[in-house]
Amino acid sequence: MLIDLQSINVHLGEKHVLQDTCFEAEAGEYIYIIGRVGSGKSTLLRTIYADVAIESGTATVLDTDLTTIKRKNIPALRRQMGIVFQNFELLRDHTISGNLDFVLRATGWKQRQEREQRIAEVLSHVGLDQAAYAHLYPYQLSGGEQQRVCIARAILNSPKLILADEPTGNLDPEMTEQIMDILHNLSAEGTTVIMVTHNVGLIEKYPATVYECSEGRLILKSERHIPQAEQPTAE
């Protein structure tokens, strides 16, 4: 089990955001988290990457006990994950190559040649040519291209888990489909993807397991395990 949360409780300030919440994910699953604004969707993701403390219950992510993890060990846990944000969170004063190289150097890649090769690989994986894009800055890219770079950044260290918080929220329909294809293909290759979204239409077009956050609780709405050989695309 990649993620195993059992009866967890989480407070933010005085608000009880997650109550007696249970959530599980296995390798290669694609899981949507839906729900109203403020229902706890993003808090669940933050809990998984150890940004929010768990008050009670049991929680294991990537063989790490989140209830006892020490602050100094959190970066090592996060290096096993990739995180994709709605607003991209790219370094504006770095080129695309610089953004990716920053992550590689921060996660222990010492050899420049190896870093350059890995940057070319992940850009190609998301459909961006290194020669055309590596020297550009984020402001020179469209929203869809920036989100592709964010996914490239997320997979630099071949994570077992990708957490995507409204990754298509700022994109037009065409770019949304391209990003969804990339994420679902990563899942089909064996990476677990957990995606927060408000876009119910995406779930109909790209079916997967669905949980709904409601009144501090997480409810399984539908379940679908996608074989790793399957490559889902838009209808």
Alpha helices in the chain (DSSP H): 41-48, 74-78, 96-106, 112-125, 130-133, 143-154, 173-188, 200-205
* Secondary structure tally for the chain: helices H, strands E: 8, 10
8 Å CB contact between 42 and 34: no
CA 219 to chain centre: 20
pLDDT for 226: 52
8 Å CB contact between 177 and 234: yes
pLDDT for 229: 45
DSSP letters of 88-136?
----TTS-HHHHHHHHHHHTT---HHHHHHHHHHHHHHTT--HHHHTT-
Q: Is 100 left (phi over 0), alpha (psi -120 to 50) or beta?
A: alpha
pLDDT for 164: 95
Q: Where are the domains of the chain?
A: 90-158
pLDDT for 90: 94
pLDDT for 234: 45
**What residue ranges of the chain have pLDDT lower than 50?**
227-235
CB atoms within 10 A of CB 52: 19
Retrieve residue 214's tokens. Answer: 């409601």
